[in-house]
């Protein structure tokens, strides 16, 4: 029997944030019967809450022995497995700050984040332990675990810094969004809503999204633990249809967060997947055709949700609360006040800037060590998302990104980081990077490059530059297309005018000269 589900109006009218003076995300995640299943790890087996707590306690003691204290930053460079969960819980239990890091980051991308955060230590796995990093590596996999060991948790509050997650770096280097221990509480209403009242009997969560990203870590893993909904750990080295079907066959998955690119790959494979209770998706709008396909493929509506690293899970669809509307991302989640602002900063029914009122629990404290960027993110009582939107009644329609973030295969990629990397190549004089529309990946990274004098453009140079970025940043962020130009469109102050490059890319798709 399903739990009773209130109406959307009832949810909004009765909601209040539950943020006690004493709040620690490790305690939230472990507040369940010891024998209850926490994680279905397809490598390590079924993990109970007692086992997860024992692993977290063993790791916390090692961190203490290595001098980790309140406020220290500790990286977590692992993928989907139970030790990743234990690492974050151990760090939070000490009042320290966890910093998720993606295993596909290459040297430059990893170094930027490690140095900016001032990491004291990086918890990783054996495969990544020998990488050259600016912080010592710790591999916890072989730690002796005392059965039923309890995790000692220091006193922290909602505003105590707990997690530092890096954004895509649309202007300059990636910025670290610093969140307090209220972060998990702030995600719960949206996660519950996007999975049609998550927490029903036999619910079980999985996502192919890596737990190094806010989508995998705080839209799936930590909410699942906090709500007592088992989470499946089964990170695929590369998402593919066979791997996805294998996970669904081996684990009791009922609720899935599929990034849009994963959905497009499933659609291209013409797959029919029945037996799921909810499918959620976020990152970019899916469109009517994809949503209609979802009804046929899953036998249910795909619930779209919206948010960003700085303030996540702020709007969502929910089939059990209201009918979805084509081309809209849903309605505000309980606890979040969203407005569309005009240039004067006043709410408008016309297209404008999507903004979220301060006070939402999933909103960041500030950008790490960047007071000017933090100040620019806020206008009065509002946090500016940098996105454009418009209201259709109670429904929010996403219009487009105000910044230049590239959304490719579910990853949000900052062009400035790629430009900086390419500019360090001895053949490159200037460069502009944009997202070019792509049917499968939403966008692909395209680089327009002006070469230095006496350097000759060639297909071999294109490959060399692509490999150059792959080896220094991440395999998903290299430019899939490179075009050599004699000059780039520039402002009078010397900034690349990306909108002109985007217009050029769109013209290429239409076959224009």
pLDDT of residue 407: 87
Classify residue 124: in a domain, yes or no: yes
In this structure, what CATH number is given to the domain that contains residue 54?
3.40.50.12780
pLDDT of residue 404: 79
Q: Band the pLDDT of 510: cuts 50, 70, 90.
A: confident
Classify residue 68: in a domain, yes or no: yes
**Range with the lowest mean pLDDT among 60-64, 84-88, 502-506?**
502-506
Classify residue 160: in a domain, yes or no: yes
Task: Read off the pLDDT of residues 278-308 as tens digits, 9 standing for 90 and up.
Answer: 999 997 778 788 899 999 999 999 999 999 9
- Sign for the CA dihedral angle at 20, 23, 25, 28 comes to negative
Q: Which 3 state secondary structure label does DSSP give 351?
A: coil
Residues 6+ apart with CB under 8 A from 171: 403, 416
DSSP state of 209: S
For 171, the domain range is: 21-181
Question: Is the pLDDT reported for residue 37 higher than 50?
Answer: yes
Burial class of 343 by CB neighbour count within 10 A (0 to 12, 13 to 18, 19+): exposed
Classify residue 60: in a domain, yes or no: yes
pLDDT of residue 170: 47
Question: Is the pLDDT reported for residue 495 higher than 80?
Answer: no
pLDDT of residue 294: 95
Q: Band the pLDDT of 412: cuts 50, 70, 90.
A: confident
Q: Which of the listed residues 181, 205, 236 is the one where a domain comes to its end?
A: 181
Q: Which of the listed residues 163, 181, 199 is the one where a domain comes to its end?
A: 181
Classify residue 177: in a domain, yes or no: yes
Question: Is the pLDDT reported for residue 90 higher than 90?
Answer: yes
In 3-state terms the chain splits into helix, strand, coil percentages (rounded to 5) of 30, 25, 45
Q: Which of the listed residues 181, 200, 226 is the one where a domain comes to its end?
A: 181
Task: Read off the pLDDT of residues 209-254 as tens digits, 9 standing for 90 and up.
Answer: 999 999 999 999 999 999 999 999 997 878 889 999 999 999 999 9
- Tally the domains of the chain: 2
What is the rounded radius of gyration, in angstroms, for the C-alpha atoms of the chain?
Answer: 23
User: What is this structure's pTM?
Assistant: 0.89
Classify residue 205: in a domain, yes or no: no
Classify residue 90: in a domain, yes or no: yes
Question: Is the pLDDT reported for residue 48 higher than 90?
Answer: yes
Classify residue 81: in a domain, yes or no: yes
Q: Band the pLDDT of 3: cuts 50, 70, 90.
A: low
In this structure, what CATH number is given to the domain that contains residue 441?
3.30.300.30
- The residues with which 392 forms a beta bridge, in sequence order, are 395
């Amino acid at each position: 029997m399903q739990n009773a589900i209130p109406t959307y109006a009832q949810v909004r009218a009765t909601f209040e944030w539950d943020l006690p003076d004493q709040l620690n995300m490790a305690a939230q995640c472990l507040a369940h019967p010891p024998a209850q299943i926490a994680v279905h790890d397809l490598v390590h087996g079924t993990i109970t809450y007692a086992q997860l707590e024992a692993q977290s306690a063993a790791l916390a003691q090692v961190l203490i022995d290595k001098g980790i204290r309140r406020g220290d930053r500790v990286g977590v460079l692992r993928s989907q497995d139970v030790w990743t969960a234990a690492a974050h819980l151990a760090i939070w239990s000490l009042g320290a700050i966890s910093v998720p890091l993606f295993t596909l980051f290459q040297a430059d991308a990893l170094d930027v984040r490690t140095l900016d955060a001032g990491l004291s230590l990086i918890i990783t796995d054996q495969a990544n332990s020998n990488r050259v990093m600016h912080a010592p590596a710790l591999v916890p996999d072989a730690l002796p675990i005392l059965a039923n060991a309890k995790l000692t948790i220091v006193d922290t509050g909602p505003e105590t810094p707990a997690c530092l997650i890096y954004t895509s770096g649309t202007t300059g280097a990636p910025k670290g969004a610093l969140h307090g221990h209220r972060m998990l509480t702030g995600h719960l209403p949206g996660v519950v809503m996007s999975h049609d009242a998550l927490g029903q009997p036999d619910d079980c969560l999985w996502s192919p999204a890596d737990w190094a990203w806010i989508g995998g870590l705080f839209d799936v893993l930590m909410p699942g633990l906090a709500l007592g909904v088992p989470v499946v750990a089964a990170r695929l080295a590369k998402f593919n249809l066979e791997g996805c079907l294998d996970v669904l066959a081996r684990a009791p998955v009922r609720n899935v967060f599929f990034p849009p690119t994963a959905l497009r790959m499933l659609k291209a494979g013409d797959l029919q997947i029945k037996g799921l209770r909810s499918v959620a998706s976020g990152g970019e709008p899916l469109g009517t055709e994809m949503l209609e396909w979802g009804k046929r493929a899953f036998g249910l509506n795909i619930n779209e949700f919206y948010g960003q690293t700085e303030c996540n899970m702020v709007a969502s669809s929910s089939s059990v609360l209201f009918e979805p509307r084509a081309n809209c991302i849903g309605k505000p989640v309980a606890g979040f006040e969203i407005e569309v602002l005009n240039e004067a900063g006043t709410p408008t029914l016309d297209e404008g800037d999507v903004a979220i009122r301060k006070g939402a629990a999933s909103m960041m404290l500030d950008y790490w060590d960047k007071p000017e960027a933090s100040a620019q993110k806020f206008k009065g009582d509002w946090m500016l998302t940098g996105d454009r939107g418009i209201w259709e009644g109670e429904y929010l329609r996403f219009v487009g990104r105000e910044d230049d973030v590239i959304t490719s295969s579910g990853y949000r990629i900052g062009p400035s980081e790629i430009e900086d990397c390419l500019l360090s190549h001895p053949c490159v004089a200037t460069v502009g990077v944009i997202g070019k529309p792509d049917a499968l990946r939403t966008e692909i990274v395209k680089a327009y490059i002006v070469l230095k004098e006496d350097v000759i453009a060639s297909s071999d140079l294109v490959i060399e530059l692509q490999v150059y970025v792959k080896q220094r940043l991440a395999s998903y962020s290299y430019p899939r297309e490179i075009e050599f130009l004699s000059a780039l469109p520039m402002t009078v102050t010397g900034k690349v005018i990306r909108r002109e490059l985007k217009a050029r890319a769109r013209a290429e798709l239409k076959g224009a000269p």
